Amino acid sequence: MITYVIRYFIMEVIFTPVFRRYVKKQAPPLQLAIQDEVDRVIADPNRGEDKKGDLAGYRVHKFRFHRQEYLIAYEAAEQELLFVMIGTHENFYRDLKNYLRECSQ
C-alpha cells in the first residue's frame, strides 16, 4: 500500500496482485513507463475514460510504449485509488470482466 499526499489531502493508492504481477514480469524500461503513467493517473484520477455497462465505476487510462497500446484499469474513490489491471489492448476488457467476476464470488 502506497500513500501519496496530493493537493492537500491524502489518497491511498492500492495495487491488486494481478497489477503487481504484470508489472514485475516486464522489462525495466516498460516498468518505468508504467510508473510514469501511474503517477499521471494519481495526479489526475479523472484522466481515464469512464466505462459503462459491466465495467461501470471503473476508468481506463491508455498509453503507448514502443508502438504498443497499454491500458490501465482503475477505480477512483474519494480517498482511495485502486489499480485493478494493466495489459495490452488485446482481450483486455474480456480479461478485466473475468477478473472482476472472480473477485465478486
Question: In the chain, what are the domain boundaries?
Answer: 11-104
- On average, the pLDDT of the chain sits at 90
State yes or no: pLDDT of 4 exceeds 80. no
Q: Which pLDDT belongs to residue 1?
A: 55
- Report the pLDDT averaged over residues 72-96: 93
State yes or no: pLDDT of 30 exceeds 70. yes
Predicted confidence band at 94 (pLDDT cuts at 50, 70, 90)? very high
DSSP β-bridge partners for residue 62? 71
Distance, C-alpha 47 to centroid of its chain: 11
Task: Residue 58: count other Cβ atoms within 10 Å of its Cβ.
Answer: 20
**8 A C-beta contact, residue 23 and residue 85:** no
State yes or no: pLDDT of 17 exceeds 70. yes
- What are the two backbone dihedrals, phi and then psi, of residue 79, each rounded to the nearest 5 degrees? -115, 10
CATH top-level class of 11-104: alpha beta
- Report the pLDDT averaged over residues 63-84: 94
